[in-house]
Amino acid sequence: MPLNPSIFKAYDIRGVYPDDFNEESAYAIGCALICHTKAEKVVVGKDIRLSSDSLEDALVRGITDQGGDVIKIGQATTPMLYYASGKLAVDVGIIITASHNPAEYNGLKLCRKNAVPIGEGAGMEEIKALAINNIFPSAKKRGIIEENNGFLRHYLDHTKRFFIPHAKKIKVVFDFANAMGIIDKNVFSELSEFIEPIYLYDNFDGRFPNHEANPLKIQTLAALQDKVLETGADLGASFDGDADRVGFVDEKGTIVPMDFSTALIAKEILKKHPGGLVLVDLRSSNAVKEYIEKSGGRVALCRVGHSLIKKQMREEGAIFAGELSGHYYFDENFKAELSGLATIMIMNLINESGRKLSELTQDLKKYFHSGEINSDVVNKSEVFSKLKEKYKTGRLNELDGVRIDFADWWFNVRASNTEPKIRLNLEAKTQSLMEEKRDELLDIIRS
Q: Which of 25, 52, 85, 99 is catalytic?
A: 99
Q: What is the CATH number of the domain that holds 439?
A: 3.30.310.50
- DSSP secondary structure code for residue 114 in this structure: G
Answer with the one of 299, 320, 353 that is the final residue of a domain. 353
Q: Burial letters for 89-107: b for 16+ Cβ neighbours within 10 Å, e otherwise? A: ebbbbbbbbbbbbebbbbb
| Phi, psi values for residue 109, rounded to 5° | -115, 135
Residue 229 lies in a domain: yes
Answer with the one of 149, 173, 198 that is the final residue of a domain. 149
Are residues 45 and 158 located together in one domain of the fold?
no
Answer with the one of 149, 180, 209 that is the final residue of a domain. 149
- Contact partners, residue 248, CB within 8 Å, separation at least 6: 235, 236, 237, 238, 255, 256, 261, 343, 346, 357
Q: What is the CATH number of the domain that holds 183?
A: 3.40.120.10
Are residues 177 and 269 located together in one domain of the fold?
yes
Are residues 143 and 233 located together in one domain of the fold?
no
Extract the runs of DSSP E, i.e. beta strands, from 113-149: 145-147
pLDDT given for residue 378 in this prediction: 82
Measured CA to CA, the distance from residue 136 to residue 169 in angstroms comes to 58
Residue 173 lies in a domain: yes
Are residues 45 and 170 located together in one domain of the fold?
no
Total number of domains in the chain: 3
pLDDT given for residue 418 in this prediction: 65
Residue 359 lies in a domain: no
pLDDT given for residue 191 in this prediction: 97
Is 192 tagged catalytic?
no
Are residues 20 and 76 located together in one domain of the fold?
yes
Are residues 287 and 409 located together in one domain of the fold?
no
Residue 158 lies in a domain: yes
pLDDT tens readout for residues 221-262: 999 999 999 999 999 999 999 999 999 999 999 999 999 999
124: containing domain: 5-149
DSSP-based three-state secondary structure for 314: helix
The edge-to-edge listing of strands for the beta sheet with 246-249 is 195-200, 170-175, 235-239, 246-249, 255-256
DSSP one-letter string for 151-187: HHHHHHHHHHTT----SSPEEEEEE-TTSTTHHHHHH
Residue 363 lies in a domain: no
pLDDT given for residue 368 in this prediction: 97
Residue 400 lies in a domain: yes
Contact (CB, 8 A) for 161 and 190: no
pLDDT given for residue 32 in this prediction: 98
Q: Kindly give the residue spans of alpha helices, DSSP state H, lying in 106-240.
A: 124-133, 151-160, 182-190, 222-231
Are residues 129 and 172 located together in one domain of the fold?
no
DSSP one-letter string for 25-65: HHHHHHHHHHHHH--SEEEEEE---TTHHHHHHHHHHHHHH
DSSP one-letter string for 281-295: ETTS-HHHHHHHHHT
pLDDT tens readout for residues 311-347: 999 999 999 999 999 999 999 999 999 999 999 999 9
CA atoms within 13 A on the CB side of 334: 21
pLDDT given for residue 10 in this prediction: 87
Whole-model pTM: value is: 0.95
Are residues 190 and 247 located together in one domain of the fold?
yes
Are residues 163 and 90 located together in one domain of the fold?
no
Are residues 129 and 170 located together in one domain of the fold?
no
pLDDT given for residue 379 in this prediction: 85
Contact (CB, 8 A) for 70 and 59: no
Show pLDDT as tens, one digit a residue, over the chain (447 residues).
Answer: 689 999 999 889 999 999 999 999 999 999 999 999 999 999 999 999 999 999 999 999 999 999 999 999 999 999 999 999 999 999 999 999 999 999 999 999 999 999 999 999 999 999 999 999 999 999 999 999 999 999 999 999 999 999 999 989 999 999 999 999 999 999 999 999 999 999 999 999 999 999 999 999 999 999 999 999 999 999 999 999 999 999 999 999 999 999 999 999 999 999 999 999 999 999 999 999 999 999 999 999 999 989 899 999 999 999 999 999 999 999 999 999 999 999 999 999 999 999 999 999 999 999 999 999 999 988 889 999 999 999 999 999 999 999 999 999 999 999 987 677 999 999 999 999 999 999 999 999 998
Residue 362 lies in a domain: no
Are residues 197 and 73 located together in one domain of the fold?
no
Are residues 225 and 170 located together in one domain of the fold?
yes
Q: Which residue, among 98, 103, 116, has the nearest Cα to 39 in the 3D structure?
A: 116
Residue 73 lies in a domain: yes
